[in-house]
C-alpha cells in the first residue's frame, strides 16, 4: 500500500523546505514520488529533490480546486502504476484548499491502492495573523483540516509572537499537533512522530483528513467536499464562523461566483516567464527590495526564480513579504521567474526585469 502525505501551506510557507527535510531525515530509504501542483505555470522547485532521486510529477493546472478531482485521480493512479512507490508526497498549490485535496485522495484510495497517511500544513509563524485576516478563506481551510501544523521561521520569533500565532491556530484547529520548535533542532524521529501522529490518541488523522464515500473517483459533490465532518467537528467549539456547505469550497464547483466565496484564480494572480536575460546580483537585490512597493507592483506575496548572472554564474532567489534570499546555484536549462500576488502590475514587473 502506498502511503500518501499531503504537505499543504500558503504561498512561501516553507512546504518545499519541509519536504526536503522529510525526504532527507524522516523518509530516507523509501521510494518517494512528489506530486506538485504549482499555482502558475513555472516549476522552479525541482532541483534538490530530483538530485535526491525523488520522482517529481508536476500538475501545473492553475487553480487546484476545479481541475483537481478528475486530473488528480488520474495522476495518482498513473504514479502508482508506473513507480509503485512506498510513499507519495503531495504538495498542493499554496492557494489550494486542503479539504479538497484530502477529499480527492480519500475518494480514490481504494481504487488506486493508496492510503492517506497524513495531512500536514506548513505555516509561516510570522504571518499567521495577517494571512488569516487577509486571506482567511484560503488560509483557514489549510489550518482547519491539518492533523499536524508545522510552523516555520519560529527561530526568529519572540515568545509572545509565537504564543499569539499558536493561539490563533488553536482557534481554527483545537486538535492538531503544532510543531513550534525550529526544525533544525529536531531529529528525524521527533518529526516523524509529529507527522504520523503516533503520539496522538484516537483517529484524529481520519477526522482531520475526512472520510468519504468510496463510490467513485471523479464526481465532486457535497458528500465529497469534506465539509460534512467538519460541520460536525466544530459544533460546540464556539467558532465564530459557521462552517457549512457554502464554506467548504465545493460550492465553487457549482456556482463560481457565489457571493463571498472566491475562486483562487479570481483572488490571486501568478505571472511567470522563462528568460535568457542576465542579471547582476545587485539588480536582483534591488528588484526584491522593491517588491514591497504596492503602488508599483500590487501586493506581492511570493516571488521566486532562477536566473543567469552577468558573470555566467547562476542565482536562485526566493521572496516572501519581509524577507528574501539569493543563493548561488547550478545552471538550469533556461532562466525562470515567477511572481504571485493580488492585483499585481505585471507590466511594471516586466519593465523592471527587462522581459
Ligand atoms: N528563515 C527561515 N526561512 C525559511 C524557513 N522555511 C522556509 N524558509 C524560506 O522561505 C522561502 C520559501 O520556502 P519554500 O520552502 O520554497 O516555501 P513553499 O511553501 O514551498 O513556497 P511556494 O513555492 O510558494 O509553494 C525560502 O527562501 C526558504 O528558504 C524557516 O523555517 N526559516
Measured in angstroms, how far is the CA atom of residue 65 from the centroid of ligand 1?
23
Measured in angstroms, how far is the CA atom of residue 152 from the centroid of ligand 1?
8
Most informative mutation of 10, 318, 321 for ligand 1 (most atoms within 8 A of CB): 318
Homologous superfamily in CATH for domain 2-254: P-loop containing nucleotide triphosphate hydrolases (3.40.50.300)
| pLDDT tens string 164-221 | 999 999 999 999 999 999 999 999 999 998 887 644 444 444 444 443 333 332 333 3
Domain 2-254 matches domain 268-353 at the CATH topology level: no
Task: Give the pLDDT confidence score for residue 100 in this predicted structure.
Answer: 85
Provide ipTM, 2 decimals: 0.97
Measured in angstroms, how far is the CA atom of residue 320 from the centroid of ligand 1?
8
Ligand 1: which residues within 6 Å by Cβ?
Answer: 9, 11-17, 94, 152-153, 302, 304, 318, 320, 325
Closest Cα to atom 32 of ligand 1: 153
Measured in angstroms, how far is the CA atom of residue 270 from the centroid of ligand 1?
18
Measured in angstroms, how far is the CA atom of residue 317 from the centroid of ligand 1?
11
Measured in angstroms, how far is the CA atom of residue 188 from the centroid of ligand 1?
19
Most informative mutation of 12, 126, 301, 328 for ligand 1 (most atoms within 8 A of CB): 12
One CATH from 2.60.40.10, 3.30.300.20, 3.40.190.10, 3.30.1220.10 for 268-353: 3.30.1220.10
Measured in angstroms, how far is the CA atom of residue 54 from the centroid of ligand 1?
19
Whole-model pTM? 0.82
Q: Are 107 and 21 in contact (CB under 8 A)?
A: no
Task: Give the pLDDT confidence score for residue 236 in this predicted structure.
Answer: 34
Q: Which residue(s) pair with 319 in the sheet? A: 303, 324
Task: Give the pLDDT confidence score for residue 348 in this predicted structure.
Answer: 97
The ligand 1 atom at the shortest distance from the C-alpha of residue 340 is 24
The ligand 1 atom at the shortest distance from the C-alpha of residue 183 is 31
Closest Cα to atom 8 of ligand 1: 14
Distance (Å, rounded) from C-alpha 89 to C-alpha 105?
Answer: 11
| pLDDT tens string 223-270 | 333 332 333 333 333 333 333 333 333 333 333 333 446 778 788 998
Residues in the chain, pLDDT under 70: 39-48, 59-71, 197-261
Task: Give the pLDDT confidence score for residue 41 in this predicted structure.
Answer: 55
Domain regions of the chain by residue span: 2-254, 268-353
Most informative mutation of 6, 8, 10, 17 for ligand 1 (most atoms within 8 A of CB): 17
Nearest residue to 13 (alpha-carbon basis) of 251, 348, 340: 340
The ligand 1 atom at the shortest distance from the C-alpha of residue 17 is 15
Amino acid at each position: 500500500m502506498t502511503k500518501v502525505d499531503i504537505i499543504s501551506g500558503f504561498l512561501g510557507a516553507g512546504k518545499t523546505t519541509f519536504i526536503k527535510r522529510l525526504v532527507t531525515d524522516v523518509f530516507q530509504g523509501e521510494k518517494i514520488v512528489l506530486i506538485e501542483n504549482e499555482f502558475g505555470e513555472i516549476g522552479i522547485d525541482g532541483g534538490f529533490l530530483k538530485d535526491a532521486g525523488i520522482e517529481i510529477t508536476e500538475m501545473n493546472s492553475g487553480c487546484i480546486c476545479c481541475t483537481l478531482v478528475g486530473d488528480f485521480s488520474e495522476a495518482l493512479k498513473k504514479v502508482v502504476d508506473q513507480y509503485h512507490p512506498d510513499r507519495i508526497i503531495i504538495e498542493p498549490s499554496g492557494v489550494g484548499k486542503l479539504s479538497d485535496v484530502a477529499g480527492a485522495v480519500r475518494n480514490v484510495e481504494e481504487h488506486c491502492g493508496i492510503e492517506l497517511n497524513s495531512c500536514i500544513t506548513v505555516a509561516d509563524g510570522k504571518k499567521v495573523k495577517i494571512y488569516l485576516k487577509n486571506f482567511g478563506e484560503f488560509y483557514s481551510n489549510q489550518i482547519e483540516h491539518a492533523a499536524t501544523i508545522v510552523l516555520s521561521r519560529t527561530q526568529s520569533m519572540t515568545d509572545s509572537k509565537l504564543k499569539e500565532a499558536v493561539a490563533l491556530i488553536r482557534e481554527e484547529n483545537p486538535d492538531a499537533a503544532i510543531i513550534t520548535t525550529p526544525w533544525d533542532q529536531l531529529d528525524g524521529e521527533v518529526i516523524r512522530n509529529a507527522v504520523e501522529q503516533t503520539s496522538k490518541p484516537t483517529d484524529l488523522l481520519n477526522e482531520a483528513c475526512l472520510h468519504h464515500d468510496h463510490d467513485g473517483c471523479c464526481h465532486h459533490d457535497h458528500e465529497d467536499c469534506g465539509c460534512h465532518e467538519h460541520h460536525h467537528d466544530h459544533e460546540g467549539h464556539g467558532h465564530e464562523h459557521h462552517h457549512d456547505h457554502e464554506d467548504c469550497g465545493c460550492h465553487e464547483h457549482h456556482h463560481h461566483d457565489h457571493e463571498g466565496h472566491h475562486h483562487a484564480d479570481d483572488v490571486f494572480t501568478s505571472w511567470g516567464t522563462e528568460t535568457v536575460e542576465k542579471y547582476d546580483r545587485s539588480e536582483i537585490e534591488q528588484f526584491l527590495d522593491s517588491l514591497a512597493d504596492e503602488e508599483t507592483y500590487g501586493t506581492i506575496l511570493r516571488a521566486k526564480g532562477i536566473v543567469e548572472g552577468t558573470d555566467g554564474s547562476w542565482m536562485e532567489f526566493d521572496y516572501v513579504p519581509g524577507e528574501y534570499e539569493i543563493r548561488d546555484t547550478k545552471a538550469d536549462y533556461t532562466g525562470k521567474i515567477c511572481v504571485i500576488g493580488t492585483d499585481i502590475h505585471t507590466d511594471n514587473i516586466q519593465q523592471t526585469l527587462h522581459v
